[in-house]
């Protein structure tokens, strides 16, 4: 094998196994969760191009790295440690969000134009609050409240309108005992929601839209979701291009995590989201979903938001938004199997039932058998 000292190694966990028993040293646990794997796909990138790809058993990863430079091997070992390391829980007010199993983030849009439920609650705050509390009671770990649509082609919303839509609902839901996330890219909206009781921020711009956002969250010691996007909602689906979408998105998120850390936000308070549908074609989305486990190398919990999105319609005879439940559940379960810790969904009860069945199978697989 010819070694380029300029290449960087990326590690994609693969060859997942049902049970680790009897395979000591041959398998590794993914991010401290319920999934185990037996190999890495080691991808070598030089000058933005894939120059090599090797499937390396977990038991042989050290032998494999011995063939690379000390710097390359050290970087890869640090990635291995992040992939297999536990994700510490988050204290969100009086609630604790654990990342050793998949959790559900429920979507509650207070917009006139969101692609799935736009306008449903815009002029009916009582219904919005009742719906949010029902989602909480159904088992959602987080309620993600948004007042600005970020669907393809959506126009920006003035922050005053966004605050008026979201702040009263956030306040009522937090008072009702729910853990609330504010889905916004604007610091003023974040601040109003945090003052009203929100415990986490979900920023589709990954703190790149508003320069006041990162200092605000650092000062509040507030957890944040950093989501990948290409372009703005108005332009992001106009011929999105990548050299290698999986690697490009990984590198971009790595840079945003580093930015957040420099701003004073600890890595253990950062969640990453590859941004399914945000500046991606169908093929881009499928490649990201197939390679989702790569993002564990960032050492942060992963959020997957694919519920009711265009990818499902494209793969199922152009099914309309209100007929994408089956595809949404399928993608959520795929995320769980890839170790994603947060699943952002519209259909909480159905997704939670599917995840509980998946969890039951995992629990049985991870229970020692009597001889």
Helices within the chain (DSSP H only): 61-65, 70-84, 125-138, 159-175, 187-196, 213-220, 245-262, 282-290, 310-314, 325-337, 348-365
Catalytic residue among 185, 269, 280, 344: 344
3-state secondary structure of 270: strand
3-state secondary structure of 168: helix
Are 274 and 312 in contact, with CB atoms under 8 Å apart? no
Beta bridge partners of 160: none
3-state secondary structure of 6: coil
3-state secondary structure of 145: strand
Catalytic residue among 308, 309, 310, 362: 309
Structure tokens at 14: 């693969």
- Residue 120 a catalytic site member: no
Rounded CA-CA distance 350/277 in Å is: 22
Rounded CA-CA distance 204/278 in Å is: 9
- Residue 29 a catalytic site member: no
Task: Give the residue numbers annotated as catalytic, written as ranges.
Answer: 309, 344
């Amino acid at each position: 094998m010819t070694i380029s000292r300029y290449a960087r190694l990326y590690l994609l966990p693969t060859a997942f196994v049902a049970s680790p028993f009897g395979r000591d040293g041959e398998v590794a646990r993914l991010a401290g969760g319920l999934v185990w794997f037996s190999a890495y796909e080691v991808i070598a990138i030089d000058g933005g191009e894939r120059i090599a790809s090797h499937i390396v058993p977990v038991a042989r990863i050290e032998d494999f790295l011995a063939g690379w430079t000390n710097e390359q091997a050290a970087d890869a070992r640090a990635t291995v440690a992040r992939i297999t390391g536990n994700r510490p829980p988050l204290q969100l007010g009086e609630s604790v969000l654990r990342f050793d199993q998949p959790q559900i983030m429920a979507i509650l849009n207070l917009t006139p134009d969101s692609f799935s439920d736009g306008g449903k609650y815009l002029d009916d705050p009582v219904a919005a609050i009742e719906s949010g509390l029902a989602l909480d009671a159904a088992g959602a770990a987080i309620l993600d409240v948004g007042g600005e649509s970020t669907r393809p082609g959506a126009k920006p919303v003035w922050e005053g309108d966004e605050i008026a839509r979201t702040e009263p609902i956030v306040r009522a839901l937090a008072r009702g005992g729910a853990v609330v996330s504010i889905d916004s890219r604007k610091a003023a909206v974040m601040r109003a929601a945090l003052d009203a009781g929100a415990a986490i921020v979900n920023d589709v711009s990954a703190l790149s839209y508003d320069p006041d956002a990162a200092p605000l969250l650092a000062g509040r010691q507030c957890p944040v979701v950093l989501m990948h996007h290409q372009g703005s909602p108005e332009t992001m689906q106009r011929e999105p291009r990548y050299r290698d979408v999986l690697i490009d998105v990984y590198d971009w998120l790595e840079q945003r995590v580093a930015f957040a850390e420099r701003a004073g936000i600890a890595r253990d308070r950062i969640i990453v989201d590859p941004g399914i549908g945000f500046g991606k074609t169908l093929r881009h989305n499928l490649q990201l979903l197939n390679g989702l486990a790569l993002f564990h190398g960032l050492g942060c919990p992963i959020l997957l938001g694919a519920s009711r999105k265009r990818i499902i319609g494209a793969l199922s005879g152009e099914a309309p938004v209100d007929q994408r439940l089956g595809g949404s559940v399928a993608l959520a379960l795929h995320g769980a199997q890839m170790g994603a810790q947060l699943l952002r969904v519209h259909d909480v009860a159905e997704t939670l039932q599917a995840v509980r069945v998946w969890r039951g199978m995992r629990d049985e697989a991870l229970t020692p058998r009597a001889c």
